Amino acid sequence: MTPIFRFFDLFLPPNLRNNPTDLMRGYIMIGLILVNIVICGIVLIQCMFFLQLEHNQAIAIAIVGLCLLGYLSALLLLIWTENYILCANYMITILALAVVLGIQITGGYLESPISKLGLQLPVTAFLLMGLRQGLAWLGITLLFSAGLYISAVSGFGYIQLLQSQTLVQTMDISMLFILLLIIGAALTVYEMINGLLTRQLREERNRFEHKASHDDLTGLPNRFEFFRRLKSAIEDAQERRHKVGIVYLDLDGFKPINDLMGHHVGDEALTIVAKRLRLSLRLSDTAARLGGDEFALIIPGIHVPVDIQNILPKVLEAVRQPMNINGVDVVVKASCGVAIYPVHAEDDSALCRYADMAMYRAKEKSDTWVMFNSSMKSGAPA
């Protein structure tokens, strides 16, 4: 998170952090309040040192100072009440009163350089509170504008404190820049927050997808992800005319570990085996946990039997190495059954069934691997 959002968090109530929409609007509100505080400070300095207001200077300073206090109180209101709807309406109301009063003391709706600031009322409402409240404030702004227009046309209810035409032009340009600054700042904050929330949602989605497709204990792909990757590997092999090895791997001697030493030791052993499987395979290969102490491997792009004869002995050697768990050396071994696409079958379910058959033949000897052959279908002895 960027430093600006860490700073915004100092003012953000906890209840606005639970919902992405509330979080976005909370950040926008804090950003707008802080921007308006800065702008009020700039205008206050202008009134005190740069604008030649003469005897009207005190009135201008009082109005700007009142706005400054209003925005500060809006920030405090957000912190105390934790109600951003109340705070947003309060802030926009302060802004509306300041705009109306400013227009009426600087020549009325037709001549006042402040008239254009009315545009920020509905813009702010839409950003902070959405469509319904935004339309409501748009209607209120139109009513204000109509009332001020009637006041200006009838020549009633306004005065002109800006006697110099040069001063009017200066304020007109200043108000334009202030309006652009406010709207630009609001949209900038909105885009920054939208980008932040989009990244957070993407990361959350990635975590969810990873959790749904991977085993919680070992971090390996689960059964669902294994079959998805297997289908993809077969499709790729069809296009490239490659072979794919499917290996079913079952641990020998694992059940006594669970029964005699406890499931926590068994879980630690499974985690270590999973890590060893990843390290003994190529980056293009997949190791998955199908459940219990049963694992499966996908070995794409292989040359049979050379690659199988090179890879599986390394896998068996890695599994049989002693594991020191809680000061005790634990040893398990593995039995592997192998089926090859498209040599043995072209269907993923058939390949898995054949690899499983071969694995059970391997378990008759333990700590070895067996390649499927057609005689296994009839249950002939190994």
Instruction: Judge if 206 and 229 occupy the same domain.
Output: no
Instruction: Judge if 17 and 153 occupy the same domain.
Output: yes
Instruction: Judge if 253 and 206 occupy the same domain.
Output: no
Two structure tokens written together for 103 = 């227009």
Two structure tokens written together for 287 = 């190791």
In Å, what is the CA distance from 313 to each residue of 131, 165, 191, 310, 339? Answer: 66, 93, 55, 6, 16
pLDDT for 268: 95
What's 303's DSSP letter? -
What is the rounded distance in angstroms from the CA atom of residue 174 to the CA atom of residue 253? 82
Q: Is residue 283 part of a domain?
A: yes
Q: Is residue 218 part of a domain?
A: no
Whether pTM > 0.75 for this model: the answer is: no
Instruction: Judge if 110 and 233 occupy the same domain.
Output: no
Instruction: Judge if 148 and 282 occupy the same domain.
Output: no
What is the rounded distance in angstroms from the CA atom of residue 155 to the CA atom of residue 107? 10
Written as one letter, the residue type at 262 is: G
Q: Is residue 340 part of a domain?
A: yes
Q: Is residue 243 part of a domain?
A: yes
Q: What angle do CA 262, 263, 265 make, to 5 degrees?
A: 75
What's 374's DSSP letter? G
Instruction: Judge if 152 and 260 occupy the same domain.
Output: no
182-223 pLDDT per residue, tens: 778 777 777 777 777 778 778 888 888 888 899 999 999 999
Instruction: Judge if 103 and 161 occupy the same domain.
Output: yes
Written as one letter, the residue type at 13 is: P
Instruction: Judge if 84 and 179 occupy the same domain.
Output: yes
Contact 13, 78 (CB under 8 A): yes
pLDDT band at 382 (very low <50, low <70, confident <90, very high): very low
Question: What's the mean per-residue pLDDT of the chain?
Answer: 87
What is the rounded distance in angstroms from the CA atom of residue 120 to the CA atom of residue 53? 25
Q: What CATH number did the domain enclosing 306 receive?
A: 3.30.70.270
* Partner residues linked to 324 by β-bridges: 329
Instruction: Judge if 258 and 294 occupy the same domain.
Output: yes
pLDDT for 137: 94
Q: Is residue 185 part of a domain?
A: yes
Which uninterrupted H or E stretch holds 57?
Answer: helix 57-81
Structural domain span for residue 256: 223-378
What is the rounded distance in angstroms from the CA atom of residue 348 to the CA atom of residue 373? 16
What is the rounded distance in angstroms from the CA atom of residue 220 to the CA atom of residue 271? 9
In Å, what is the CA distance from 28 to each residue of 94, 209, 366? Answer: 17, 30, 65
Q: Is residue 216 part of a domain?
A: no
> Of 210, 232, 256, at which residue does a domain stop?
210
Q: Is residue 83 part of a domain?
A: yes
Q: Is residue 167 part of a domain?
A: yes
Two structure tokens written together for 21 = 């929409």
Quick one: average pLDDT of 337-346?
A: 95
Which uninterrupted H or E stretch holds 226?
Answer: helix 223-240
Contact 168, 111 (CB under 8 A): yes
- Tell me how crowded residue 212 is: count the other CB atoms within 10 A of its CB: 10
What's 182's DSSP letter? H
How far is Cα of residue 101 from the mean position of the Cα atoms in its chain? 43
Instruction: Judge if 106 and 185 occupy the same domain.
Output: yes
40-68 pLDDT per residue, tens: 888 788 778 776 666 677 777 877 887 88
Q: How many domains does the chain have?
A: 2
Instruction: Judge if 135 and 254 occupy the same domain.
Output: no
